[in-house]
Structure 1
Amino acid sequence: MCQKSLKFKLKKSKKSTFLEKTINELNNVIKEEFIAGKIASRHGLLQNLDPRINIIATLLLIITANFIHQPLVLLFFNFWIIWLAKVSLVPIRSFLKRVWLIVPLFTVVMVIPTIFSPFLPGEPLLILFQFSHPIQILFWQIPPIISITKQGVMAAVVLVLRVGICVSLSLLLTLTTKWSQLLKALNKIGIPTVFITILEMAHRYIYLLLQTTVDMFIAKKSRTVGQTTTGEQRQFISNSMSILLGKTYFISNEVYSAMTSRGYNGKALTLAEFKLKLFDWLWLGFIIIVCLFFIGGDYLFVWK
């Protein structure tokens, strides 16, 4: 009995505490930003493109994806984006995790109601409930047969694949383009300066506040002896939120002063000068051909 209880205590002590888990997760977010910067510095396909062409090509592909209705074409579109990530030297496993761990979590929850006949009537695939007569609930009439419909499943699959394409392309753009160059390219193609300034400041503050939060949690952990109760952890979180709010206001003034003293005038500044090359125009033409190919494939399936 003594040996069993000792083993249990040892296992319990090896479990990560709340503070350790939080510190690890925050460090992982900061680490991912560092890795994204290294990916953008590689000599892959998309990294060698002019950022303006990269943005325009991404927008064309996203618009094209929203005009496609056939799941098979959308699935092939997703595989083509994976190939695009591979030739751009983006780690495929990490890329797929970032996309397909987020898309199902948010999109599937929203599209689940559409697969049922009360929301989207159609050809039944699986009958769930069958009543003798329709049921009236206030202004909504439930049909006598509740089933999972073929049209609902197809609509849900199409929406999930479309969202997957849009998220993949957006992630690929941010991974293969340095943030400063991306903001400057947005300014060059006509995006308002106010919007770019908000993006720039948000990007700076997110990781600055993350680092501040990590420092607070490490300081708390280094001064804590033994395990804390759930109530104490909640009290620490509430206190940390108020302290972080105060630090945010204080840091905002310091950051603004530091930026203005270095010549910041509201525009995204970078040492890189944009110059369109022949390869950029060829890539834009190739993207237009790809868009027409996928739209044509979608129409081909419709006619069949």
Structure 2
Amino acid sequence: MELPNWLSEASPALCRCGCGGRRKGNFIEKTLRDIIKIIQEAVFSEEIALRPGFLQRLDARIKVISLIYLLIIVNLCAHLSLLWGFYLVLLAIAVSSKLPLRQVVARVWLVIPLFTGIMVLPSIFNWVRPGDPLWVIADFHHSLHLGYLSFPSVLAVTSQGLWGGIMLISRVGISVSLAVVLTLSTRWMDFLRALRTFFVPKIFIMTLEMTYRYIFVLVSAMEEMFLARKARDAGQSAPKEERRFVASAVGGLFGKSLQMSEEVYWAMTARGYSGEIRLLKGSSLCWSDVLVLSLVVLAGLILIAANKVMG
């Protein structure tokens, strides 16, 4: 038996250098990796919510009440020491609940300082918020006028503006951390059922539920489209051709989502779906849930009292 000719021929998909015919920066491959990453993170989050941790054992309704209450308390605190002391306690609770500490911190503090800092940036200057100069940036030796607006001759960073910006970033970051801890320790269906307990409209709950499910349905469909494309061209398409394919894939996916939404709606209606969240596992409050809620309320009152004592 002899080796077939097609195996001995040079193929663009099989480079002799051993790179497998891939080019750096292949757009389709990057898109596939991002899609797979989204699915892996979602599955990982669901696994975290099923772990035998402290927060996972609490009723979802208690966690929603505690979240709303603590968000109010955090935004009433006016001292950084109290805010960051509360944040350290929150991280300790996350560790005791077997939540990935790195993910809890990275999801918040890699994004919040950037976006919140952009909004806060103008307020640290004396032209926007007058105060005690901390760092003089420029001295124009005369006041500046822009139409009806008048600005001081000195542009400086004020201590009041700087500390106010740090306070706002801290409040936003800790508030988002509370929401992240809640979402990581609670299954999505339990969270939706807890919202329904607080008389959130059915249409809102149904929209959230279908949005969550459709994300994974459409992501899976997109993955199949990109994987089929990659299998057909072996990663040899030009960047211009890849961008053209992505544009057409977006349009095709939009049409497919419209058709699928109509089919799913009629199928669910035929099976008796009315917008209520029904789970096989029932939920009932126990003494530990009431105890935890009491401790949360007590902790909030202590923070408010400490804030008033510190002035």
Q: What secondary structure sits across from 2:178 in the alignment? A: helix
8 Å contact from structure 1 (residues 64, 295) kept in 2 = yes
Matches within 5 A, 1:1-304: 13=22, 15-302=24-311
Q: TM-score, normalised by structure 1?
A: 0.91
**Alpha carbons of structure 1 residues 159 and 14: separation in structure 2 relative to 1, 3 Å:** same
Q: What secondary structure sits across from 1:147 in the alignment? A: strand
8 Å contact from structure 1 (residues 39, 175) kept in 2 = yes
**Alpha carbons of structure 1 residues 256 and 115: separation in structure 2 relative to 1, 3 Å:** same
Q: What secondary structure sits across from 2:53 in the alignment? A: coil
**Alpha carbons of structure 1 residues 118 and 229: separation in structure 2 relative to 1, 3 Å:** farther
8 Å contact from structure 1 (residues 51, 181) kept in 2 = yes
Higher gyration radius (CA): 2
**Alpha carbons of structure 1 residues 10 and 180: separation in structure 2 relative to 1, 3 Å:** closer
8 Å contact from structure 2 (residues 21, 235) kept in 1 = no
**Alpha carbons of structure 1 residues 129 and 23: separation in structure 2 relative to 1, 3 Å:** same
Q: Which amino acid aligns with 1:256?
A: Y
Structure 1 residues 114-158: Cα deviation after superposition (integer angstroms, max 9, x where no partner): 111111111111100111111111233222111111111111111
Q: What secondary structure sits across from 1:223 in the alignment? A: helix
Query: Aligned residues: percent identity?
Result: 36
8 Å contact from structure 2 (residues 21, 236) kept in 1 = no
8 Å contact from structure 1 (residues 213, 244) kept in 2 = yes
Write the distance in 2 (CA, Å) between the matches of 1:222 and 1:301. 65
8 Å contact from structure 2 (residues 26, 235) kept in 1 = no
Aligned to 2:5: none
Cα distance, 1:13 vs. partner? 4.8
8 Å contact from structure 2 (residues 49, 185) kept in 1 = yes
Identify unmatched segments of 5+ residues in structure 2: 1-14
8 Å contact from structure 1 (residues 57, 287) kept in 2 = yes
Q: TM-score, normalised by structure 2?
A: 0.89
8 Å contact from structure 1 (residues 71, 154) kept in 2 = no
Q: Which amino acid aligns with 1:54?
A: K
Cα distance, 1:167 vs. partner? 0.9
Q: What secondary structure sits across from 1:128 in the alignment? A: strand
Q: What secondary structure sits across from 2:145 in the alignment? A: strand
What is the count of residue pairs matched by the alignment?
Answer: 297
Q: What secondary structure sits across from 1:43 in the alignment? A: coil
